[in-house]
Structure formats: C-alpha cells, structure tokens
Amino acid sequence: MALMKILTYPDKFLKTTTKPVENIDGEIKKIINDMSETMYAAPGAGLAATQVGIDKRIIVYDGFPGEEKQTLKVMINPIILESSGTQLSENEGCLSVLDYTADVKRASHVLVEALDRDGNPLKFEAEGYLAIVLQHEIDHLNGILFIDRISSLKRQLYKKRIKKKQNNNG
C-alpha cells in the first residue's frame, strides 16, 4: 500500500464529476487500499477518489474515525436515492479544503445504494453523523466541495485567504 497525494483547493480536478467503475479488478482494489491508508494517515473520516486525482466513483470512510476500532467501509458507484430532513453539520471540514471549517446544512437521513469492494450490492439508510459523511464524500464524486454549500460571502472570504496564502508562498 502507498500513501497518495491529497489534492487541495483550488486544484481544478476537485471539480471533476467522476466516471462509474465498470469492473472491480486488481487495479481498483489497489486504489481502495491506497485510499484507505491515505485516509487513516491524514487522518480523515472519509476520502473520495477525486481527492487523490482518480476519476472513479469510489469512496472510503470510517464510521468511527480516530477510535481504536477501525471500521473501514468502501462504496463503489454510490448514489443517494432519497434524502429527508435537515441537520446542521457543525464545523464541517475537508482534507482538500485546508484550515477551514463551516456549518453546512445537510439532509438528516439518506438512503444510499452502491457496490462493496467485492461488487456486492449495498443499500442502506444512514442518519446523523454517518449521513453527513456520506453526503460529503458523494458530493466529491460529483465535483462539489463543502464550501460550495455555504454562503457566497463565507466562500469568497475563504477563497481570498487561499489566494493571499498562495501569493505569499509564491
């Protein structure tokens, strides 16, 4: 397994809408293993293939990040079939959006369908924290960052800060 480089905003690849996985082969399984290692090393609660520069609909996540009991989950070609209710995801952050968190409105309940790492169909409901993680990671596969879901004023302030940081480092 190998650590992968996590792309950070404003990398244009993060806006990519990914392509479905057609065949779960050795290459896909290696990507999943490398993504998992990268997510835990970061450390993060989830990681989408887009975040590591891969144009595939794959996410990995852990329902209990930072705890002794690791419960790695893999979803291939995930889609949200239904969502309902609203909840505030407080201080939502992202491995691709450095040094920034914001409150984001998310659905409180989602019904998700996907394939597991062996190609078996998954269909389940999630609520609370897990619903937030799944929405966040599936957004990545659709080229959406959490900062796209906050007020335009807050988003502009963040973009200005990043630009200033890039100018100071450049």
- Residues with Cβ within 8 Å of 27's Cβ and at least 6 positions away in sequence, in order, are none
Write out the DSSP string of 140-161: HHTT--GGGGS-HHHHHHHHHH
Greatest distance between any 2 Cα atoms in the chain: 49
Out of 27, 67, 82, 137, the active site residue is 137
Active site residue 113: no
Strands 109-115 and 97-106: unpaired
Strands 72-84 and 58-62: antiparallel
Just list the catalytic residues: 137
